[in-house]
Structure 1
Amino acid sequence: MRRVGSFLGSGIAFALLAYAAFALSDACVKALQGRVVPWQLGFYGSALSFLILPLMWRPGDRLSDLIRPRRPATWWLRGGLATVNMFASIIAFSHLPMAEAFALIFLMPLLITILSVLFLRERVNVKAWFAVILGFVGVVTVLRPGFRDIGIGHIAAMLCGLSGAGLFVLLRHTRDGEKRITLFGAGVLCPMMVSFLLMLPGYTPPDLWEWVIVSGYALLAALANMLMMYASRLSPASHLAPTQYSQMLWGVGLGYVLFGDHVDAWTYVGIGLICFAGLWRFLPKRWLRALLPVAPR
């Protein structure tokens, strides 16, 4: 009982629930089958993100801090990346089986490694580079260029992973120079403004059933973000990072049960390689020694 209580009291339980909510939110996107344009979905999702604003608030914060950054250039860059990330995610899940979309989006941890070297001048060991190479082998296995068509959904999923990695690296670069509420403002207000402007021409309101699904998408995403906030307060990021791969299980399960997605054997192999590459640095050291024997001195 003590172990169960410790688990529930840790951020891991909240993180697992958060990623389940994220997956269900993505399932709502797929359920719409493109009947609601990405800009409308983006606007509703961004607007409801303000539900988590009280969790971001700290003593001394003011509403004007949402749009008053110390570094305007990085504020706009963060807003632009967040906008691309949101639209790319919606397009990916609208066009691909859920498991396949997640597989390509999960390139993000590997892309973070590359961007950290290029822009943060971080040093990366051989094991990390091995994980990057393994991850890209997994992507090639999923896509199999020359053997299958690569469509807008595949491009959007990879762009989602790349923009997500960019957001993470930018956050590490600016986290000590900006208030948390200011970073939140960039990540929410920019996508909301762009979505609003894009959806105005030819706006068609969703029907009743589409409103239900759109509301599910937006509310589940807001709930997931709230749960992740609680998780990050209870556990360090290194403990929470592996839980994101639970989304892959949700993607396979929801895709099969709700949408009849059929993923071939090679795609499963690619998914396995990508997940293993992402989880590589969290494996126990004794496992790593067995997988990569140390050369004799």
Structure 2
Amino acid sequence: MSQHDAAIAPPPASEGNPTIGILWMVASGLCFVALTATVKVVGDAVPPAESAFLRYALALPILIPMIGPLRRAHLSRRQLGLFGARGLAHTLGVITWFYAMTRIPLAEVTALNYLNPVYVSIGAALFLGETMAWRRMLAIAVALAGALVILRPGARELDPGHFAMLFTAASFAAGYLIAKQLSGEVSATVVVGMLQLTVTIGLLPFALLDWVAPDLATLGLLALAAIFATLGHYAMTYAFAAAPLTVTQPVTFLQLVWAVTLGAVFFAERVDGWVILGGLTIVGAISVLTLREARARRLRSAKGQGARL
């Protein structure tokens, strides 16, 4: 589900391998677009909540090596509450994301998903006390304008899938902000493992509300979706480790190119220039945001080192 499952802020990146980082990010984007396309092929074979549950349930084997770290974490009641809140936010976002993919073109799902970092930036200012400088506000305004270019309210009839994607991006942003609080307290393995566990459990009651017995083809496709998601996250992690976000962030626009291509070739979806323009506008604004954040971190780091000398 693209960057949806990103558990914590990316690890500090090496500055020396930008080409490797870009290649890993390209591979990650291909996996995430393949994931989206696979879920779209499943379509209405099973309800969205059930489809989402099966995708997570079929990925549960990845929890096996995490059992030890999860048991040793000795999570406090507060931490369990935060993990539960994150799991609920992610659960609702996953359901609406799967629903959106049955309603609107691949390109629009992908383009609107780019709003995730924008919501994160707004949420960090509102709830975590981060400074909202005018350049950040301008970048956010440009990104939101890009979303309006994609949606074009008033110029066309909006589908419920569009509103579902707006909710999805906000839900995943809320989960990311909670994870950001937890990432300094527990290991990345625990953060990832708890996400997988809480979302699987959270999706189960929604899936049981309207359960349809899946056939083998549907199960196979959702297992493939789980594989694409896992590979995509591994590739993204390697990309973050190999190169800074300022290098890898612009590469995410390729996801939209591939989504447009897949949608046109395999799903007979019309190539919409407005969606491409809006997606490019959002990615450009996010790239500026990323560059500004990277510079701010370097300045804070330099000041901290200077204070210790």
TM-score, with length taken from structure 2: 0.79
Following superposition, the deviation at residue 171 of structure 1 comes to 2.0
**How many Å separate the matches in 2 of 1:51 and 1:15?**
25
Equivalent residue number for residue 178 of structure 1: 186
Equivalent residue number for residue 147 of structure 1: 155
Identical pairs, percent: 26
Which residue, 13, 36, 48 being the options, matches 2:23? Answer: 13
Following superposition, the deviation at residue 55 of structure 1 comes to 7.5
Which residue, 163, 168, 177 being the options, matches 1:160? Answer: 168
CA 1:204–1:214 in 2, change beyond 3 Å: closer, same or farther?
same
| Secondary structure of the structure 2 residue equivalent to 1:82 | helix
- Superposed CA offset, 1:122-146 (max 9, x none): 1132222111111111111221222
Which structure 2 residue ranges, 5 or more long, are not aligned? Answer: 1-15, 293-309
Equivalent residue number for residue 261 of structure 1: 269
Which residue, 173, 198, 212 being the options, matches 2:206? Answer: 198
CA 1:194–1:135 in 2, change beyond 3 Å: closer, same or farther?
same
Number of equivalences: 276
**How many Å separate the matches in 1 of 2:210 and 2:290?**
49
Following superposition, the deviation at residue 80 of structure 1 comes to 1.0
Equivalent residue number for residue 294 of structure 1: none
- Superposed CA offset, 1:70-124 (max 9, x none): 5222111111112122112211211110111111111112112211111111113
Following superposition, the deviation at residue 259 of structure 1 comes to 0.6
Which structure 1 residue ranges, 5 or more long, are not aligned? Answer: 285-297
Equivalent residue number for residue 69 of structure 2: 62
Q: Does 1:32 align with 2:42?
A: yes
**How many Å separate the matches in 2 of 1:202 and 1:88?**
15
Which residue, 93, 99, 102 being the options, matches 1:94? Answer: 102
Equivalent residue number for residue 274 of structure 1: 282
CA 1:117–1:6 in 2, change beyond 3 Å: closer, same or farther?
closer
- Superposed CA offset, 1:216-249 (max 9, x none): 2122112212223333443444543333332112
Equivalent residue number for residue 92 of structure 2: 84
**How many Å separate the matches in 2 of 1:115 and 1:27?**
30
8 Å CA contact 2:32–2:228 kept in 1: the answer is: yes
Q: Does 1:46 align with 2:56?
A: yes
Following superposition, the deviation at residue 15 of structure 1 comes to 2.4
Equivalent residue number for residue 129 of structure 2: 121
